[in-house]
Amino acid sequence: MANIGNMLKDEINRLCRRQVNAAVAPLRKELREQRKALSELKKQQPKTPASVAMEPDPSPKGESVGVASADGRQQPWVTSKGIRALRGKLCLTQQEFARLLGVSAIVVHKWEAQKGKLGMRRKNLAAVVAARGMGIREANSRIGKTAARKKTAKKKA
């Protein structure tokens, strides 16, 4: 008897699948046609600056690059790796780097902890871009840090 029960169950499943496929077939056909029409429209559309900005980033990881904004100006990308690298290049602590940019140390910590492109205010973005062009001496002079020199103790004879 168990064998007949399994046979009936299998037959019912087969008939159900057949009915579902018959109901879904026209929808699949319509979806295929819509995808084909969309593909044709994409081929006809010329590239715009917005679509160029959405293309994959060809630069190496962690390097900051710029993308054209809607009005044609170059907007720099700033990543957490870029912030860490810039702070390391300038030999500054998070607190000192924050003072240089005019933000709090917590903000610098959050920037370094985030992943990917950072979304920041224009004022902060401009400060980071300006800091990219600085050297260690200029950064130290702007925050009022004096270079600590090693003092050598003279031996008394």
The alpha carbon of residue 113 and the mean position of all alpha carbons in its chain are separated, in whole angstroms, by 13
C-alpha to C-alpha distances, 128 to 67, 78, 152, nearest whole angstrom: 16, 8, 37
- Contact predicate 82/62, CB 8 Å: yes
Q: Is the residue at 9 inside a domain?
A: yes
Share of the chain above pLDDT 90, in %: 46
- The CATH code of the domain that includes 128 is 1.10.260.40
Q: What is the pLDDT of residues 32-82, one digit of tens each?
A: 999 999 988 888 877 665 545 455 544 444 444 454 444 556 667 889 899
Stated pTM of the model: 0.49
Give the chain's domain count: 2
- Examine the domain organization and report whether 6 and 74 are in the same domain: no
State the alpha helices, DSSP H only, in the chain: 2-44, 49-53, 80-89, 94-101, 105-113, 122-132, 136-143
**41 and 77 inside one domain:** no
Are residues 20 and 70 located together in one domain of the fold? Answer: no
Could you tell me the residue range of the domain that residue 129 belongs to? 61-143
Sign of CA dihedral 84, 87, 90, 92: negative
Q: Which of 105, 146, 102 is nearest to 128 (CA)?
A: 102
Q: Are residues 22 and 80 in the same domain?
A: no
* Cα 136 from Cα 131, distance rounded (Å): 10
Instruction: Give the pLDDT confidence score for residue 27 in this predicted structure.
Output: 94
Q: What is the pLDDT at residue 77?
A: 80
Which tens digits make up the pLDDT trace of 13-36? 999 999 999 999 999 999 999 999
